[in-house]
Amino acid sequence: MYVAVKGGEAAILASHELVAEARRGDASVPEVTVAQLREQMGLACARVMNEGSLYDADLAALALKQAQGDAIEAAFLMRAYRTTLPRFGSSQPLDTAAMAIRRRVSATYKDLPGGQVLGPTYDYTHRLFDFALMEQRDGTAAHPNPPHHERGEGEDTARSAAASLDAHMPRVPDILGAEGLMEEEAPPVGDPAPFDLTREPVAFPAGRDVRLQAMARGDEGFLLGLGYSVQRGFGGSHPFVGEIRVGEVAVEFVPEELGFAVDLGDITVTECQMVNQFAGSKEVPPQFTRGYGLAFGHAERKAMSMSLVDRALKAPEFGEAAEYPAQQDEFVLYHSDNVEAAGFVEHLKLPHYVDFQGELELIRRIRKERDARPDAGAQTQPEAAQ
């Protein structure tokens, strides 16, 4: 073993100790627990579950703690762990129409069949600091307005609200489809199993199942930027939020030895149906088209961004020119994976001594040859004024 390698190994081990020290921070401040992160940083956990491609709130909270809140590093940890898990098969398609709704809003229908449910949202909050959250007493943040359960009315209110919701709520695109105003959406011929990009190489042009799967675990910020781009003119999209719904859905699996579906439990998901205009063509009358997004946990921004980019990627299906980044599946799929992108960018921090020395010697040789040419000095003189 080279001496330099030995020294590098010792430095790496020491850096691990420094990471643990930096992660803990000031020892006089109580250490945050995984349970606290899971319960109080639910939106961050949802992002890690999505981009880590694994639904487990406890592991997402652990990853966030281990990565000091670095969402991309936490997603990397989740994906690495995911590769160690056994695979038993694929679950049945989720029935989001039967979702136990906690939030459901539409920007297209005021009187939405089944009702609108505002639920927990930051949409109507003032972007002002709530300094009361900095004051903690017995582990509970002080707040001028105590929660409902402290006022003795929360449980009854929650029960009555749940009882007033329909067990089955039609989706907005289905309502438009009943009038023939929405593009029809049917499974491919033969209804094949969805492509699994974690086990097979992706080929282009990619199918919609591949695109949706890649975006579901893609970087939220990247997809947000692409979705924003199609609204600003790099895609010509003028969308309406047909519906956003957040809630719990049942996950079912059919074991081979049983032959019927078994309920494995409920997961929280966010679904967005985006409604877009389409002027029509010679074969297709004017109608609305759809963009779709589905994400783990409460992740509205991610689901909305997905739905915007999903519609943009369908441009060739409607005879539209694919001129912009969000309309090109190869660009979107290759660059939306933040774990792969982070690895490719951050590898630049690793030693490249030999490569750089080669570049350095090349530049020196070129400059030496250039200076040795008889006309080198003349080339550097400014041209005479015309």
Which of 82, 108, 133 finishes a domain? 82
Let me know whether 178 and 100 are in one domain.
Answer: yes
Q: pLDDT digits over 342-362, tens only?
A: 999 999 998 899 999 999 999
Average the pLDDT over each of 6-10, 117-121, 259-263 and give the range with the smallest value. Answer: 6-10
What is the pLDDT, as a whole number, of residue 160?
Answer: 47
Which of 31, 53, 82 finishes a domain? 82
What is the pLDDT, as a whole number, of residue 379?
Answer: 57
Which domain does 219 fall in, by range? 96-124+151-184+201-339
What is the pLDDT, as a whole number, of residue 270?
Answer: 98
Let me know whether 322 and 209 are in one domain.
Answer: yes
- For the chain, the C-alpha Rg in angstroms (whole number) is 27
Q: What is the DSSP code (8-state) at residue 93?
A: P
Q: Are 43 and 64 in contact (CB under 8 A)?
A: no
The answer to the question of residue 344 being in a domain is no
The answer to the question of residue 354 being in a domain is no
Let me know whether 68 and 115 are in one domain.
Answer: no
Let me know whether 207 and 236 are in one domain.
Answer: yes
- Mean pLDDT, all residues of the chain: 86
Q: pLDDT digits over 79-88, tens only?
A: 999 999 998 8
The answer to the question of residue 193 being in a domain is no
Dihedral sign, CA of 137, 140, 142, 147? negative
The answer to the question of residue 43 being in a domain is yes
Let me know whether 15 and 162 are in one domain.
Answer: no
The answer to the question of residue 371 being in a domain is no
What is the pLDDT, as a whole number, of residue 147?
Answer: 45
Number of domains in the chain: 2
Average the pLDDT over each of 5-9, 17-21, 179-183, 242-246 and give the range with the smallest value. Answer: 5-9
Let me know whether 241 and 272 are in one domain.
Answer: yes
Whole-number Å distance between alpha carbons of 240 and 290 = 10
Let me know whether 23 and 105 are in one domain.
Answer: no
pTM of this structure: 0.85
How far are the Cα atoms of 3, 54, 367 from residue 7, in angstroms, in the given order?
6, 37, 36
Let me know whether 71 and 174 are in one domain.
Answer: no
Let me know whether 12 and 109 are in one domain.
Answer: no
What is the pLDDT, as a whole number, of residue 378?
Answer: 58
